[in-house]
Structure 1
Amino acid sequence: MKRLFVSLLFVPALALAQAYPSKPVRMIVPFPPGGPADIFARGLAQGMHEPLGQPVVIENIGGVGGVLGVDRALKSAPDGYTLGFNSGSTLSIAPYSLTKLPYDVKKDAALITLVVRVPEVLAVHPSLPVTSLPELIAYAKANPGKVNFGSAGGGSITHLAGELLKAEAKVDLVHVPYKGAAPAVNDLLGGQVQMGIFDVPVLLGHIRAGKLKALAVTSATRTQSLPDVPTTAEMSYPSVTSDNWYGLVVPAATPA
């Protein structure tokens, strides 16, 4: 991961004028602190400091599934001093899942680079009496409407992955949206919500510590971080697949 960050540092620097940057650069993260986007963005910002010669300051602007932060980034001055660190939810899904957006991704955004792509894992609170995805489905069918799942917000990848599972397994799972992954994971750990599908790096430590039970990964293949956790396809749900990606964007009018 560190090598990936470093390899991306020179892309924006080389693309802009030689005098750039002459002041600190702002990186807007459209989710609250502590979530996956925030963690990846801070790692990238730290690595960019030395080659740019200026600090990269993180600004968290959460709300509406990331829409508020994306809007702020895309409506900033197109001078290269404001970067948007965004996810697949905000750029690829929101334009189709939300009825009205304050921006047009195709017209208003210019993608600098893909930063990282990560698999997701379906995990449950230990209080839920299941140890596998088939057991979860059976339990949910026996208790319709009593199993809930948290997400990073309506229209997010974490939300749509849960809805996809509901549709494919034909079970009644109750969606509980949050303003970002961090508060959703906190409530999952506390048992306020019983399950969730989130980026593997976000849940990995909690799974290894026994605070959560991993039932399946939603990627096409097993992940090296959780080699003993089967894929949803192995559990007879090949259509329930999803992963997440993060990238840097700037206002479309930013000079190349």
Structure 2
Amino acid sequence: MSMKNPDRWSRRVVLVAGALAALRVQAQGSQQAVRILVGAPPGGTTDTMARALAAELGRVLGRTVVVENRPGAGGNIAAELVAKAAPDGNTLLMSFTSHAINASLYPTLPFDPVKDFTPLTMVSTTPALLVAHPSVPANNLKELIALLKGRPGQLNFAIGALGSSVHLAGEAFKMMSGTYVVNIPYKGTAPAIQDVLAGQVQLMFANIGNAQAHVRAGKLKALGVTSPARLAAFPDVPAIAEALPGYQSSAWFGLFGPARMPADLVKRTSDAARQAVGSAEVKRRIESEGATPVGNAPEEFGRFVQEEIKRWAKVVKYSGAKPE
């Protein structure tokens, strides 16, 4: 077959090849696994929340969803990776309360915790328990506050991570009760709670998932819960707000994408995540950690994060807390 215009045919071949290449890239992108980065080690509550969500989210999206742990710097390492990722929905962040706390805790951050992220949904919230070693001579909040005021600086708080929600729950408690308790920082919740169990440290604010088994076994005393009201799971444990009106502190876990995600992709990803959070299996796993499933809209979650940044800034300033 003769070709009267070889250049024209060459251009057509190039255009067709380019179109086929673009289709291949799109097909590969849709088959690429979605990564949920977690700024905490395996086994912690944030990691548990991400893994509880991942399998069901993958089923809803019809794609593979994997969890990658990138611990360090209070979650900032994972957050920075997501902030700088392409806004294609393939790289997401399971973050936690420290996302808001770090805005005032760190003098500088390599990202803006609001402008560099797309809020997708809050996955869950969980209050903390104020627990004590059984040897502490206080059996309720009134007795504890009196004890702390009578022995300033003589009792200690175990802190699983400086700048974490449970650390600042303790700072808010001290601020509102007018007490002085020495912080003993640890590199993780596990070694912190072990020293409280051993009686090396007297007190700790711990997420319910980390403390509930020890409380039920009688190895720790639960003196208060940080939620505004008592919990159905611990009806005999008073809310700290009963002794300190207005006190409240809960950890939260939420899913973010990078900024500049297209609106249709935000809706598709958020809807899938919210559907996953509402599924029976994911709800069961979240509730087994002493947490409450949420699954709110991106706009609502975004407003919440901005308010959290303002709220925690006051406590960080009072505490004088510095990053590790």
- The bucket for the TM-score relative to the shorter chain is 0.7 to 0.9
Quick check: 1:219–1:231 contact (8 Å CA) kept in 2?
yes
Distance 1:60 1:187, change over 3 A: farther
Cα deviation for residue 127 of structure 1 reads: 3.1
Change (3 A) 1:192 1:28: farther
1:50 to 52, 56, 59: 59
Which residue of the partner structure matches residue 231 of structure 1?
Answer: 239
Residue pair 1:145, 1:174 contacting (<8 A) in 2 also: yes
Task: Give 1:150's aligned residue.
Answer: 158
Q: CA deviation at 1:163?
A: 0.8
- Looking at structure 2, the residues matched to 80 and 89 of structure 1 have their Cα atoms a distance apart, in angstroms, of 23
How far apart are residue 18 of structure 1 and its match? 9.8
Structure 2 unaligned segments of length 5 or more: list them: 1-25, 266-324
Alignment of 1:168 onto 2:155: no
* Alpha-carbon distance in structure 1 between the residues aligned to 2:224 and 2:251: 16
Worse-matched range after superposition: 203-212 or 143-152: 143-152
Contact 2:228 2:247 in 1 (8 A): no
Shift of 1:21: 4.1
Moved more, 210-219 or 54-63: 54-63
Change (3 A) 1:58 1:146: farther
Aligned counterpart, 1:72? 81
Give the deviation of 1:154 after TM superposition. 2.4
3-state SS of paired residue (1:32): coil
Q: Which residue of 1 aligns with 2:295?
A: none
1:93 and 1:156 in contact (8 A); partners too: yes
Larger C-alpha radius of gyration, 1 or 2? 2
Instruction: Describe the shift of the 1:165–1:250 C-alpha distance in structure 2 as closer, same or farther (beyond 3 A).
Output: same
**Root mean square deviation, CA, Å:** 2.3
- CA deviations over 1:167-218 (Å, ceiling 9, x no partner): 2222211123344444433443344432222322332222112222110111
Match of 1:114 among 111, 122, 126: 122
Q: Map Cα deviations across residues 118-164 of structure 1 (whole Å, 9 max, x no partner).
A: 22221112232322122222222333222221234222221111111
- What is the TM-score normalised by the length of structure 2? 0.67
Greater share of residues in strand: 1
Corresponding residue for residue 87 of structure 1 = 96
SS in structure 1 at match of 2:206: strand
Deviates more, 1:180-189 or 1:120-129: 180-189
1:127 and 2:118 matched = no
Distance 1:192 1:69 in 2: 33
Q: Which amino acid aligns with 2:117?
A: A
Give the length in aligned residue pairs. 238
- Name the CA distance, whole Å, in 1 between partners of 2:57 and 2:116: 25
Determine the structure 2 residue equivalent to 1:189.
197
Higher mean C-alpha deviation, range 215-224 or range 53-62: 53-62
Using the aligned pairs only, state the percent identity.
43
More helix by share: 2
AA aligned opposite 2:257 = V
Q: 1:153 and 1:71 mapped to 2: Cα distance? A: 19
Residue number in structure 1 paired with 2:308: none
Contact 1:74 1:109 in 2 (8 A): yes
Q: Which residue is 2:146 aligned to?
A: 138
Partner of 1:243: 250
TM-score norm. by structure 1 comes to 0.83
8 Å Cα contact 1:21-1:52 kept in structure 2: no
1:39 corresponds to 2:48: yes
Q: CA–CA distance in 2 between the matches of 1:63 and 1:27?
A: 16
Q: Report the counterpart of residue 99 of structure 1 in structure 2.
A: 107
